[in-house]
Structure 1
Amino acid sequence: MSIVWLALIVIFLIVEIATVGLTSIWLAGGALAALVVELLGLGIVWQIAAFLIVTFILLYFTRPWAQKYLNAKSVKTNYESLIGQKIKMTERVDNLSQTGKAVVNGQEWTVRAEADGDILEPGDFGEVLRVEGVKLIVKKI
Structure 2
Amino acid sequence: MLAWLPWAWVVLALIFVIAEIFTAGFFLICFGVGAAGAGLAAFLGASVEWQFAIFVLLSSLAVVLVRPFANRVSNPNTHLVGIDRVLGKEGVVLETIDPISGRGVVRINSEQWSAESTEGRPIVAGSQVVVVAVQGTHLKVQPILPA
Cα offset, 1:75, TM superposition: 6.9
Q: Which of residues 64, 68, 71 in structure 2 aligns to 1:67?
A: 71
CA RMSD of aligned residues (A): 3.6
* Structure-2 change in CA distance of 1:59 and 1:101 (3 Å): closer
Counterpart of 2:89 in structure 1: which amino acid?
Answer: K
* Structure 1 gap ranges (5+): 93-99, 118-141
Cα offset, 1:29, TM superposition: 0.4
Structure-2 residue corresponding to 1:86:
89
Matched length: 104
Cα offset, 1:64, TM superposition: 1.3
Does the aligned pair in 1 maintain the 2:88–2:130 contact within 8 Å?
Answer: no
Cα offset, 1:87, TM superposition: 5.5
Structure-2 residue corresponding to 1:3:
7
Structure-1 residue corresponding to 2:62:
58
Q: Distance in 2 between matches of 1:49 and 1:111?
A: 59
Structure-2 residue corresponding to 1:104:
133
* Structure-2 change in CA distance of 1:84 and 1:49 (3 Å): farther
Which is higher, the Rg of structure 1 or of structure 2? 2
Percent identity between matched residues is 25
Per the normalisation by structure 1, the TM-score is: 0.56
- 1:11-30 equivalences under 5 Å are 11-30=15-34
Per the normalisation by structure 2, the TM-score is: 0.54
